Chains A and B, each alone.
Chain A
Amino acid sequence: MQDKRTDKNAAPQPLLRLCNASLRYGVVDVLQDVCLEISAGGPVILMGPNGSGKTSLLKLMMGLAAPSSGDVDCARSQVSFVFQKSVMLRRSVAANVAFALQAAGLPANDKAVRAALDRVGLSHLAQRPARRLSGGEQQRLALARALSRNPAILFLDEPTASLDPAQTKAVEDIVQASAAMGVKIVMSTHDIGQARRLGSEVLFLAHGRLVERAPAASFFNKPESPEAQRFLAGELVISQEALS
């Protein structure tokens, strides 16, 4: 269900490529020399302790931040983003989806809006002001907006960070259904349980560096990097520079 690669013999074309990409804010190196390619397939989960650079890497991949050095190669028209706390436009649920469709240059008719809302189970709230929705409903609306663009890659930055278990499940169901339909999911989380439930592959970040990339099963059973081992063991992952 989670790995929908149809042709296992042919190497899939990368949807996204980062080559020695670094990000620096002032004198702080947020990301250092990240090299990776992301191709079609099961969900990729970005893990790492707080401050490891997960959100920055997502923004770099999405084009919301420009690399200080290195290259990021990604077609902006093929990607969508769901933030940890999505901003709801001050208008109805349906109008929020219509806005996203218009921004993507797609027809924003009732049928398209309803289809997008059906996908996330919010059709019955179509006329409600978006800002009056619960946190979980707002994240589902953000997913509807993002998916309405028919993205090849959907980036999600800890989309369930402040949601209760029922709302979290609703969001995870949508993410899994989207992955099953061929949308490449790239999601950050520091919920290890969620990473196990959703992940096909794990990228592990520590101190702004990509320290491990592995299939989810092998990452959780036998992490190779000392940082990932400490993280999965529930220990604090602190850099030597921070300790000194």
Chain B
Amino acid sequence: MDETSAFQLILSGDPQLLAIVKLSLAVTLAATLIAGVLGLSLGACLALTQFPGRQGLVIALNALMGLPPVVVGLLVFLALSRSGPLGFLGLLFTPQAMIIAQTILITPIIAALSRQVIEDFWAEYKDEFTAMDVPGAMRVRALLWDARFSLVTILLAGFGRAAAEVGAVMIVGGNIEGFTRVMTTSIALETSKGDLPLAISLGIILIAIMFCVNALAWGVRQWSVRHAG
């Protein structure tokens, strides 16, 4: 019966449900966008430069891919709390705090994976670019462009990770109804309250979004093979 009610909630366009989905997508898309800019820049920088301590940084970045969301949430909470170093910003328990937490969570993933992709491309292109005297900035642009399909897949992986996590946004967002309540935190809360139809409907939507994201990643890959070689 709970499943039937869940589908009815989705089909009826329940305002509470839509608000939660909308906020979830807004927070995760913003975090993916910011983490994309930071992560791709860091990944490209690490892939194309040599400096003392680079290996250590690469290892640290790879390790940070497994950052526990609750730890990220705790650190952001401590930083943004009234007595924390960034407490004056007044961002705790706001969607912005959730964006910060998700950005911290997925930036290492995007940076580490894009570093590997760009490094592999560089190994392939290095002699050709050197022979063509390609200037530095043009090299970076060309590598990012030629690796675009792999990099989009990485961004989608980052989006998936951010959309699915619950611990960090629960801690820094506070799961405030109508303000910072997103799909994952709602599912946790409604399940504990026994309101299974809402929890199930949100679960269905979350899984549907993940399927769409992965289908998009697969489509991008197939298109790239056909059109760009």
List A residues at the B interface (Cβ < 8 Å).
Answer: 62-64, 76-77, 80-81, 83, 86-91, 99-100, 102-104, 129-132, 145, 149
Whether A90 lies near B128 (C-beta < 8 A) is no
Whether A87 lies near B124 (C-beta < 8 A) is yes
B195 interfacial by beta-carbon distance below 8 Å:
no
Chain A residues positioned under 8 Å from B142 (CB to CB): 89, 99
Quick one: which of B129-145 are within 8 Å of A by CB?
129-135, 138, 142, 145
Whether B133 lies near A103 (C-beta < 8 A) is yes
Most chain-B Cβ atoms within 10 A of its Cβ — which of A100, A103, A130? Answer: A103
Size class of the contact patch on chain B: 10 to 19
Residue of A nearest to B121 (CB): A90
Q: List 18 A-B contacts (CB under 8 A).
A: A62-B131, A64-B127, A64-B131, A77-B133, A81-B131, A83-B128, A88-B229, A89-B142, A89-B146, A90-B146, A90-B229, A91-B228, A99-B142, A103-B129, A103-B132, A103-B134, A103-B138, A129-B227
- Bound together, the chains give a CA A104 to CA B133 distance in angstroms of 7
How many Å from the CB of A88 to the closest CB on chain B? 7
B88 interfacial by beta-carbon distance below 8 Å:
no
Chain A residues positioned under 8 Å from B146 (CB to CB): 89-91
Residue of A nearest to B226 (CB): A129
* Number of cross-chain contacts by CB at 8 Å: 51
Residue of A nearest to B228 (CB): A90
Quick one: which of B213-229 are within 8 Å of A by CB?
224, 227-229
Chain A residues positioned under 8 Å from B131 (CB to CB): 62, 64, 80-81, 83
Whether A100 lies near B228 (C-beta < 8 A) is no
B125 interfacial by beta-carbon distance below 8 Å:
yes
Whether A103 lies near B135 (C-beta < 8 A) is yes
- Bound together, the chains give a CA A63 to CA B131 distance in angstroms of 8
Further 10 A-B residue pairs, CB within 8 A, beyond A89-B125, A145-B132: A64-B127, A64-B131, A80-B131, A81-B131, A83-B127, A83-B128, A83-B131, A86-B128, A91-B146, A104-B133
Quick one: which of B189-220 are within 8 Å of A by CB?
none
**Known interface pairs A89-B146, A99-B142; A104-B125 also in contact (CB < 8 Å):** no
Contact with A87, one of B128, B224, B228 (Cβ below 8 angstroms): B128
Chain A residues positioned under 8 Å from B138 (CB to CB): 102-103
Top-3 shortest CB links A-B: A131-B229, A81-B131, A129-B229
Chain B residues positioned under 8 Å from A63 (CB to CB): 130
Residue of A nearest to B147 (CB): A90
- Bound together, the chains give a CA A91 to CA B128 distance in angstroms of 15
Chain B residues positioned under 8 Å from A88 (CB to CB): 229
Residue of A nearest to B132 (CB): A103
Whether B132 lies near A104 (C-beta < 8 A) is yes
Chain A residues positioned under 8 Å from B132 (CB to CB): 80, 99-100, 103-104, 145, 149
Most chain-A Cβ atoms within 10 A of its Cβ — which of B130, B132, B138, B142? Answer: B132
**Known interface pairs A83-B127, A87-B125; A76-B228 also in contact (CB < 8 Å):** no
How many Å from the CB of A130 to the closest CB on chain B? 6
- Bound together, the chains give a CA A8 to CA B8 distance in angstroms of 92
- Bound together, the chains give a CA A145 to CA B134 distance in angstroms of 12
Contact with A76, one of B127, B129, B133, B227 (Cβ below 8 angstroms): B133
How many Å from the CB of B177 to the closest CB on chain A? 48
Chain A residues positioned under 8 Å from B125 (CB to CB): 87, 89
Whether A64 lies near B228 (C-beta < 8 A) is no
- Bound together, the chains give a CA A131 to CA B125 distance in angstroms of 14
Residue of A nearest to B124 (CB): A87
Residue of B nearest to A88 (CB): B229
